[in-house]
Structure 1
């Protein structure tokens, strides 16, 4: 359905990391697809600091809160109003994708129209950043940015929606973000330590240092040889969602059995939940022990595949990000908002 490299790039887009723990983010993603089997025509997901808190698609035709605090953060009729908004938006955006296909002289095939809009707020400095981005078949269509309520960039602006867009970016998004942070802080501020295991399929395969079940998302996994950090023959994977609000990551080291005997190899995991770093000494005994007590490789692969599938359904496209939205590249933290 979607090529793996497209899913991986979208994964990076979908789960931005923020450089400061003080920065909070609210993001809405809406994706309309054409000609893609077994996928709803319209999907809308709301995310607070990278955690999905609301979901809507054209099959269920209603918004489902994903977090208990989401009920407390809004009035009793909010989700009813937001559902009606999504119902209308769903019909409107179908017309937009049809118009885009006509413009590009396309009569068939698989196509997507996606909008990601939201905002960021630094609760230490008070700085704010808002954006409203559009893409068709992975190509930038329109992009709007505002920093501290000043317009930064506009690409192919259209006046018909400019007032609605301006209202969301300047007046609606930041207050909504602050309200959600207030109610969701018990979830957002929690710290869950990782479980770390060493795994290897056979003596000729790379050794994988796998950390899972941790929150927040920001984590460091590194390899050492005789106490010195090493970077050659090391492959660090993406930080992926587990599906329960926590995360996992794996880093693989290619090392021969001879080198393993001659040198002292360790995997070190650093995370804000830990009072001391987790240091796993690489040897045959440790691998065998973790193989018996830790998650088997097949389960890890299954979880990763499931996570990629979820993200593929939400995004579906390769967004080339020519517009520069990759400003936030390290976080805990996706066409129209369910709440705008």
Structure 2
């Protein structure tokens, strides 16, 4: 599968990422026997920005972005009712699966994921719908046959159940071929001030002359980034450690790549750090020279932008769900899909079928 308000100080101009791939993704996660954890959670994202979340503990829909909050209260109440209905349905499904597989106790996770993506340069769209249970793919929606297919034999009974519901099949055909893309485009337009391509700030950092040289890119958006070291015009991978892409608390991202090299080596050769961000054609380059290196010898440590795993501490429960529901479920990469959002903020398009399991 293809797996937050943007403000970056020091950027003179921002350009909208209408050349980028945008995506809309919904996560429905039900679990059992996890102490102090909600049995049911819904998370919706557009372009990796969380828009909405609901869980069985609070039993209300929480819009997370300003452009989503503009929707009237009557709409959110109707969404709450739909999510509550799904909460009950998922609870029944988890119970049914546990009985069918003779699972008495223990932690069990059922996750329903669906969404779509659009390449604004080519106009190409892609959609998917999948169901996973206890870390394994269970069902997937076949876009050619317009029906649900069991990924493993144990899921045949659910395939038959879902495909025997004619109204369900009609709903998903319309959703995947029309509604999802329509909702995605609407969210991109509504949230265009947030959904921008933001260039990175790139720095070369080193603690001491014998420490690795860190190429640190931060403040960029979206999260797709490549940070590499170049030696004399060729990509250099020897003695290079690649860090993970991390999220800043303003919704932008950061990533570091560390090069272990002796001073005499980089002074006698041309080393460059090259940063490439999805949706930005320009490469950002820092040449490794003594004047470019920022050190903290005798000074406080470099001020890396703090990161958090969610939007705010209030959403810690959602972070746990991602660990329990998304990470446990082995996400397949064949679709190359980048996660995206929930509630379509369009009551006529959200539809009870999207919450129906």
* Of 186, 189, 192, the match for 2:193: 186
Match of 1:295 in 2: 303
Gap change, CA 1:287 and 1:111, over 3 Å in 2 = farther
1:232 alignment partner in structure 2? 238
* 1:34-65 Cα shifts (integer Å, max 9, x gaps): 23334322211111122111111122111111
Counterpart of 1:178 in 2: which secondary structure? helix
Q: Is the 8 A contact 2:136 2:330 kept in 1?
A: yes
Q: How does 1:3-18 map to 2 (within 5 A)?
A: 14=3
Name the structure 2 match of 1:111. 108
Corresponding residue for residue 151 of structure 1 = 146
1:248 and 2:254 aligned: yes
State the TM-score, normalized to the length of structure 2: 0.73
Q: 1:152 to 1:122 in 2, by over 3 A?
A: farther
Matched residue count: 313
SS at match of 1:175: helix
Q: What CA distance in whole angstroms lies between the structure 2 residues aligned with 1:254 and 1:152?
A: 53
Return the alpha-carbon distance in structure 1 between the equivalents of residues 230 and 104 of structure 2.
55
Counterpart of 1:167 in structure 2 is 171
Structure 2: where are the runs of 5+ without partners?
4-17, 151-155
Q: Which has the larger radius of gyration?
A: 2
Stretches (4+) displaced over 6 A: 304-307, 334-338
Partners of 1:218 and 1:332 within 8 A in 2: no
Report if aligned partners of 2:30, 2:110 keep a CA contact under 8 Å in 1. Answer: yes
Does 2:138 align with 1:141?
yes
1:218 pairs, out of 224, 234, 239, with 224
| Inter-CA distance 312–195: structure 2 relative to 1 (3 Å threshold) | farther
- 5+ unaligned residues in a row in structure 1: which ranges? 1-11, 15-19
- Root-mean-square deviation over aligned CA pairs: 3.6
Q: Does 1:318 align with 2:318?
A: no
Q: What residue number does 1:37 align with?
A: 35
Q: 1:198 aligns with which of 187, 204, 210?
A: 204
The structural deviation recorded for 1:267 is 1.5
Aligned to 1:65: 63
Distance 1:242 1:185, change over 3 A: same
How far off its partner does 1:91 sit? 1.9
* Higher share in helix: 1
Q: Normalising by the residue count of structure 1, what TM-score does the alignment of the two structures yield?
A: 0.76
For residues 208 and 178 of structure 1, the distance between their equivalents in structure 2, rounded to whole angstroms, comes to: 38
- Of 200-209 and 172-181, the range deviating more from structure 2: 200-209
